Chains A and B, each alone.
Chain A
Amino acid sequence: MSDRDERDPHDDALRRAFSELRRQDAAGAPDFHGVVARTPPVRRPGRARLGQALAAAALAVAFLVGLLARRPRPEPALPSIAAWTAPTDFLLRTPGGELLSGVPRIGSDRPLVTLDGAAGAPDSRERTASP
């Protein structure tokens, strides 16, 4: 591939403009030896290093924050299903409900047997008094 192949007659204006640009640049070109002996631009290492240190510190902090954010947290222990009670259980406890939870006995002011076994068992005196 040659640049000659790529050029077309419409490039003449461009070529002329570039030629003028080249001529101007060449006229303003500095001396070769002057460029070689040119003092390199002075750098300010103190400020540059301070900036680099700040950037490094910011990166380190971001890294630590990222690590902490990614660390898995312990999950709260779930209560056993056997110990679970519905939060609305208290609505089922009505006043005098203990009267309905046992079988009443004649001549006794206390139920002989309760359905949930919470009420007192019959004593011997009550048993003998019964027919």
Chain B
Amino acid sequence: MPRVQAEELEALHPSSYGWALGCCGYDREEAQDVLQAVYVKVLEGGARFDGASTLKTWLFAVIRRTAAERRRRRWMRALAFDRWRQRSVAPALPDPEQEAHGAESARRLRAALRALPRRQREIVHLVFYQDLSLDDAARVSGISAGSARTHYHRAKARLRAILVGP
């Protein structure tokens, strides 16, 4: 399988950025760091696309794993008293200026998504934001289709409860 070209990554860049934001709790700096690590990994051959799924699904899985790995590293560093002031196990909040520019519905949706468990947030983001099928969303998240369906329905119910009210 030929190495992924920069043009292919660039074509997927807006979607990848949105997914990286979702994986990083809408922390823009962290999302860019994750994307940079992923792009370098892919372009230098550290992560190889095997063609078993679409490039988008595979790339999203790499982004998700990279974000999770960085989260774990930060957590370990926090345990080792390094950067203990910047405990970032919980997703960092975007700065107020950026928030102010967002439309009210998007702001409320971000807040509602942050309130969801990670798996539910991932699945609902992949289906609604990225227009992936539940099967592909399950592949990206590394879980079974049945689990993805459960997370999807629970996430929708919780989002409705938060956004619309019971």
Contacts and interface: CB of A to CB of B under 8 A. Distances in A.
A55 B79 CA distance: 9
Contacts of B21: 25
Contacts, number: 105
Interface stretch (A41-49, A60-68, A83-91, A112-120): A41-49
A112 B152 CA distance: 108
A26 interface: yes
Interface in A22-46: 22, 24-26, 28-30, 32-33, 35-36, 38, 40-41, 44
A20 B113 CA distance: 14
Contacts of A121: none
A35 B77 contact: no
B133 interface: yes
B127 A6 contact: yes
Interface residues of B, number: 49
Interface SS of chain A: helix, strand, loop or mixed?
Answer: helix
B50 interface: no
A96 to B, nearest CB: 80
B133 A40 contact: no
Contacts of A10: 160
Contacts of A11: 128, 156
19 contacts: A10-B160, A14-B156, A14-B163, A15-B128, A16-B105, A17-B105, A18-B125, A18-B129, A20-B103, A20-B106, A21-B109, A25-B21, A26-B17, A28-B28, A35-B17, A51-B81, A54-B80, A54-B81, A55-B79
Interface of A: 1-3, 6, 10-11, 13-18, 20-22, 24-26, 28-30, 32-33, 35-36, 38, 40-41, 44, 47-48, 51-52, 54-55
